[in-house]
Chains A and B, each alone.
Chain A
Amino acid sequence: MLWGIVVNLLNLPEDHDLRIWFADLYWVLPFGGAIYGFSSSRQWGGHTSALGKSILLFAGGMLLQALGQIFYSIYAHVFFVEAPYPSLGDIGFFGSIPLYIGGLWYLGKVLNLSKSLKLTKNFLLVVGVITLLLSSSYFIFLKDYDIAEISVLQSVLDFGYPLGQSLYVGMASLVYMLSVGMLGGKLRSRVLLLLLALFTQYLADFIFLFRISRDIFVVGGISDMLYLTAYFLMAVSLVLFNPREEALK
């Protein structure tokens, strides 16, 4: 984190080694967080319990994010291609979206939200939030999209990224809104930290897509700092979710 802050505070040139190495190496954080997350998940019963499944899916999403970063570094330093799109890196970045959605689905089960969703006002809230986020993503990124001469794969990703990301942040907002009044106990702060990590990740994704679409993306810049912050928050929440952690004993 400190490395990234120094790089950006000193406003180092785009091709400065410290900036490039920062962008190439921060995958270590989501990778480590994911490994620890798998261990936390196992303590909660892994795929046999709702909390175990939720943590497993979030850890899997983080691992895929780390793999996406690794692939992009390999492209840059081994094949000398800057951020090819679509590429193997998208398996990681795009693949993490359904895993985050799955993680939130099971978190909803942990928080017993199915009962809340049966209430008409909450059901309308769900429909409203998801529609708002999907339509704002569409108007910001896809309104003037020209499908001609673009491969099917790229079209799927061009639509899938902003819409998929809107879906997971919409679900995270709903989990927060429907549970915050009743959520308590030792795990409250951990759940809130996990949701904050997802909001930060969405902000990072949104700013990344915006800067790429306006051709103002800088390697090791604000987007990478936001991704690093999101990974840090999620890694900390997964570490704190481990039932062996002192406060949970």
Chain B
Amino acid sequence: MDLYAEITKKIIFAQKAILGPVAVSIASKTPGLDMHDTNHPSFSSDPKEVLVQLVKNYSEFFGDISIEVCKEAAHDALKQGESIDLPDVLK
């Protein structure tokens, strides 16, 4: 799985631990994100843009607190030494 997909999966799972099935439902409504298999999300458009939209969708629930959760999940997904062009909202 590529790193963007791994980050997306971690974010969805972190939000699922807080919001339950609603978190998956929010993710599946994100344009450009294919959620047929929750464990292997895939993209039909620019993954960086999709990530921005996903974080924005979650932030509609708890504001900055939701963004913090997404940031922590994204950084957890990155193994030591790995780097990726993360969107500003996740930096």
CB-based nearest B residue for A54: B18
The reply to whether B64 and A184 form a contact with Cβ atoms under 8 Å apart is yes
* Residues of A close to B17: CB separation below 8 A: 49-50
CB-based nearest B residue for A41: B20
Total count of chain A residues near the partner, CB < 8 A? 23
CB-based nearest A residue for B62: A185
- Residue from B61, B64, B65 whose CB has the most chain A CB atoms within 10 Å: B65
The reply to whether A45 and B65 form a contact with Cβ atoms under 8 Å apart is no
Q: Kindly provide the distance from the CB of A64 to the nearest chain B CB, expressed in whole angstroms.
A: 24
- Also in contact, A183 and B20, with CB within 8 A (given A112-B68, A112-B69): no
The reply to whether B20 and A179 form a contact with Cβ atoms under 8 Å apart is no
Choose one: B16, B20, B65; the contact of A111 (CB below 8 Å). Answer: B65
Q: Kindly provide the distance from the CB of A142 to the nearest chain B CB, expressed in whole angstroms.
A: 37
Interface check B19, CB cutoff 8 A: yes
Interface residues on B, range: 10 to 19
* Residues of B close to A186: CB separation below 8 A: 60-61
The reply to whether A44 and B63 form a contact with Cβ atoms under 8 Å apart is no
Interface check B89, CB cutoff 8 A: no
A-B contact count (CB 8 A): 64
* Residues of A close to B81: CB separation below 8 A: none
* Residues of B close to A112: CB separation below 8 A: 65, 68-69, 72
- Also in contact, A43 and B64, with CB within 8 A (given A49-B17, A112-B69, A185-B59): no
Q: Kindly provide the distance from the CB of B71 to the nearest chain A CB, expressed in whole angstroms.
A: 10
Interface check B22, CB cutoff 8 A: yes
The reply to whether A50 and B62 form a contact with Cβ atoms under 8 Å apart is no
Q: Kindly provide the distance from the CB of B76 to the nearest chain A CB, expressed in whole angstroms.
A: 13
Interface check B53, CB cutoff 8 A: no
Chain B residues touching A, majority SS: helix
Interface check A171, CB cutoff 8 A: no
Interface check B30, CB cutoff 8 A: no
The reply to whether B65 and A49 form a contact with Cβ atoms under 8 Å apart is no
CB-based nearest A residue for B63: A184
What mask results when residues 41 to 79 of chain B are scored 1 for a CB within 8 Å of chain A, else 0? 000000000000000000111111110110010000000
Choose one: B18, B66, B68; the contact of A185 (CB below 8 Å). Answer: B66
Within 8 A of A (CB), among B13-28: 16-23
* Contacts from B to A (Cβ < 8 Å): 16-23, 59-66, 68-69, 72
In the complex, 16 of the A-B residue pairs with CB atoms within 8 angstroms, ordered by the A residue number, are: A43-B22, A44-B19, A44-B22, A45-B20, A45-B22, A49-B16, A112-B68, A112-B69, A182-B68, A183-B62, A184-B59, A184-B64, A186-B61, A187-B61, A188-B62, A243-B22
Besides the known contacts A110-B62, A182-B65, 20 further A-B residue pairs in the complex with CB atoms under 8 A apart: A43-B20, A43-B21, A44-B19, A45-B19, A45-B20, A45-B21, A49-B18, A49-B20, A50-B18, A52-B20, A115-B68, A179-B65, A183-B63, A183-B65, A184-B64, A185-B61, A185-B66, A187-B61, A188-B62, A243-B22
